[in-house]
Amino acid sequence: MDNRIHEVIIIGGSYAGLSAAMQLGRARRKVLIIDEGLRRNRFASHSHGFITQDGVDPAIIAANARAQVMKYPTVQWVSARADLARRISGTGSTHAAFEVEVGDTRYLSLRLLLATGVKDILPNVIGLAERWGKSVFHCPYCHGYELDRGRIGVIAGSELSMHHALMLPDWGPTTLLLNGTFEPDAEQLAALEARRVTVERTAVAAITGHADVRLDDGRTLSFAGIFALAPLELASPMAEQLGLEMDRGPLGAVIKTDPMKETSMQGVFACGDAARMMASIALAVGDGNLAGAGVHRSLMFGLI
């Protein structure tokens, strides 16, 4: 095989991509990871819920993972944004089947793995973006416990925020701030009442201080933390460039894969947040582990 051809190019070198790379490096496969270093959780200083790493800075978890993976001599790393991925002619068992462009450089591979994650499209509320991951969150399992049963505000983005509002009383007394987005019907109001959720109808003017919500009528409600549901979009246009099939969920679309994480295009795999509805570091690591085995199986048996 041509020396310049990588067996696998992994785009995205965070939890999912590194977990896949570890499987492939341990199988002595020639892997190139291309990563631009924009993890989804880079706004948070502590990560929770990933066993053995509970409370650790997520940047440290990623850096430790990278250091462990890069000990495998067949794995290489490029710090950059991949601009374009395309299928090229070739059998995919010995001739390159994929080409990835990074600036003026072209990288070739037999298989391609997208571990590119997603982007949160933050609600347009003054003061929210700068508090994202610090006192404004989306995941109760990741950040609810640390609020120590203090008061919690849920800023609604749509009717989907009912889910947040009904969950969060397990972590603290909860107020649902409708902010003009929807009006709960009788059944929803009964469900909120059963969970002792306070409903606030006055519009939100801004978030100030740690997690204080200033309302349009001049009142301020102080919370230990605020939750907001953010719609998602894929962090990279590669799935679109390749014409991959998508799975549509309530918050956005993710890449559709089979149980071994292969996409609708043979030889292209996807894992982590980019390819699953439920997201966490633990799930991304598990997904990457599976994708690594899927890619390896495809290489061993020439499944392309």
Ligand X SMILES: Cc1cc2nc3c(=O)[nH]c(=O)nc-3n(C[C@H](O)[C@H](O)[C@H](O)COP(=O)(O)OP(=O)(O)OC[C@H]3O[C@@H](n4cnc5c(N)ncnc54)[C@H](O)[C@@H]3O)c2cc1C
Residue ranges in contact with ligand X by CB under 6 A: 11-17, 34-41, 43-44, 47-50, 81-82, 115-117, 120, 132-133, 139, 142, 235-236, 272-273, 279-282, 284
Of 32, 34, 13, 38, residue with least CA distance to 103: 34
- Inter-residue contact 268 to 36 (CB < 8 Å): no
**Least gap, CB of 202 to ligand X (angstroms):** 27
Nearest CB to ligand X, comparing residues 138 and 296: 138
Nearest CB to ligand X, comparing residues 112 and 177: 112
Decide the pairing of beta strands 84-87 and 232-234.
unpaired
Instruction: Tell me the two tokens of residue 196.
Output: 């002792």
Classify residue 55 as left (phi > 0), alpha (psi -120 to 50) or beta. Answer: left
**Least gap, CB of 296 to ligand X (angstroms):** 19
Nearest CB to ligand X, comparing residues 137 and 178: 137
Instruction: Tell me the two tokens of residue 114.
Output: 């997208």
**Least gap, CB of 117 to ligand X (angstroms):** 3
Distance CA(169)–CA(114), nearest Å, equals 37
Beta bridge partners of 252: 249
**Least gap, CB of 185 to ligand X (angstroms):** 31
Distance CA(211)–CA(248), nearest Å, equals 32
At residue 86, φ and ψ (nearest 5 deg) are: -145, 155
Nearest CB to ligand X, comparing residues 30 and 138: 138
Nearest CB to ligand X, comparing residues 203 and 282: 282
Nearest CB to ligand X, comparing residues 117 and 267: 117
**Least gap, CB of 187 to ligand X (angstroms):** 31
Instruction: Tell me the two tokens of residue 198.
Output: 């306070």
Distance CA(120)–CA(229), nearest Å, equals 9
**Residue whose Cβ sits closest to ligand X:** 272
**Least gap, CB of 14 to ligand X (angstroms):** 3
219: number of Cβ within 10 Å: 11
Nearest CB to ligand X, comparing residues 94 and 141: 141
**Least gap, CB of 216 to ligand X (angstroms):** 27
Length in residues, the chain? 304
